[in-house]
Amino acid sequence: MLLKAIDKGTGPTRVFIGGVHGKEGLTTLNPIKLLNEDDVKDGKLFLYNYGESKYISTLDPFYYQSTMGEKILNIVKTHKPDIYVELHCYKLESYHKLVDMERKEKVGVPPLIELEYNVLLSSVAPYLRTKVFRKNDICITLELPCKPEKKSVGVYVEVMKIIAGSNNRAEIEDKLRVKYPSQVIKAQKYAAEFFGGYPAF
């Protein structure tokens, strides 16, 4: 459901969504609530979070035919965001599978990239990125452990605030590059290899 809508007039439209599947919304709710009006300079920010739903991987083509998948598609069609962020959480025992350098061969998508304290970054599911969004839209997946430590939540929220306060890809990359230079380079590399002419995120 829509938790908050921030409207600062002309500028990019941003949509952040937590609780995309399973019980993730129980973890993403509190970090999302930490974003506020001061985090947005201009443009709009719509903050959504959903409770428990059936777990279907967003990599599964049938996900977007599910009730939750259809909600995601409707939100995107309604707001037509320039910047879209999916907020997820994961079980710590899945960490190595998510960052596995052979993930592309095993699962069909590049590995997620750790920023720090087990907070992971990647693009969104290929179907959403290539079939629903425009090529120059910014599409980011952020993950933290479902039972996060305080430091993990801090990084998660800091990255959300960076994105909320940026107007374009260059701003986001420049701000992230200050603390995570190698991770930004890696994200650009993965996008070029996987999506071809698509930019990172």
For 8-66, the pLDDT digits (tens) are 999 999 999 999 999 999 999 999 999 999 999 999 999 999 999 999 999 998 999 99
DSSP tag of 80: -
Domains of the chain, each with CATH number or no CATH: 2-195 (3.40.630)
Extract the residue ranges of the chain whose pLDDT is less than 50: none
What is the pLDDT, as a whole number, of residue 81? 98
CA distance 190 to 201: 9
What is the pLDDT, as a whole number, of residue 184? 95
What is the pLDDT, as a whole number, of residue 66? 95
Indicate the pTM of the whole model. Answer: 0.96
What is the pLDDT, as a whole number, of residue 35? 98
Nearest to 55 by CA among 146, 166, 130, 156: 146
Across the beta sheet with 83-90, the strand order is 2-7, 44-49, 13-18, 83-90, 138-145, 119-122, 113-116
- Does an H or E element contain 30, and which? helix 24-33
Which residue, chain included where needed, has tokens 């201009």?
A: 42
DSSP tag of 84: E
Contact 95, 103 (CB under 8 A): no
* Phi-psi group of 19: left, alpha or beta (phi > 0 → left; psi -120 to 50 → alpha; rest → beta): left
Amino acid at 13: T
Contact 169, 107 (CB under 8 A): no
CA 5 to chain centroid: 18
What is the pLDDT, as a whole number, of residue 176? 97
